[in-house]
Structure 1
């Protein structure tokens, strides 16, 4: 199985590669269009800032390639947000796979809620093959200041200030706001489920 991890000048990529290695899967880190197009699975990880990341994607025509891919595709953290149509982070038009807006957390009470949302939090209202074998209230690890709105494509929710889309799915595109590679056995199961998708 050929797994491509998209290189786009975003952080946290190495820990994703290590997590895949622990599952017995060797992936290639690349921004080469042909390599990505021919991969059996594609993972789109990242930490960073939306407009800078979109600039990198556009310079390499990845913004045109990604929405047309047909193999199982997994966007993680910033990767989930960039799959949406628009991010409030520096007023950034994104890839438009999910007709969803990305918004900044606005804390109602700064004593109770801090931005960014950092640490362990649970997922609920879970459904679909990416979450097979997991129970509601499983905990995953977050680091983010922006969130994806709830929509018909939400396959799991998390509550922080309000409910938001923890994971999403549309056709062959799957995504997760938390970091599976930092989420212990739960994250390992989600990555393993993704690698088994047809």
Structure 2
């Protein structure tokens, strides 16, 4: 998935610009605060969208993979994932003292998200409590929504029953809520910890 890597790109870029006092200078302009981060977020999101489109096109052309069953739901999942990890990147940037340690601070979020989303091993090998925890991690609901959108199945159940177009949105409601919660966590962290001046290491 491209989102955790976009997260690392955005957080590192924000730290660099903060340390170089770019944001400090821009705050004196007429730009709203949200616009100061927009360039990094949009840039990383567009790269992620292109990567995702290329992977899908390759899978369809080379392996004969079918079209996604629910393209609108897939777009919703992508936008949600981009928003979740952009918010977390901005929130984490306030905790990073300088660029040299940016990746060290961001790596736990990266690996935790990948492990918890079943990207490295199936979640079924975890005990029940571990699976419940994994379902609440930032990337897991995004991956589940993507799988539901692509295959047209409800992966919230062990049997993964087939779901229709509208049912796909219904079974993804919990994942959407978890994603919105993580957006809130990221924005809260940014509001509490981000400083416009360079931080001392």
TM-score interval, normalised by the smaller of the two chains: under 0.3
TM-score w.r.t. length of structure 1: 0.25
Structure with the bigger percentage of strand: 1
Point out the structure with max Rg over C-alpha: 2
Where relative contact order (Cα < 8 A, 6+ residues apart) is larger, the structure is 2
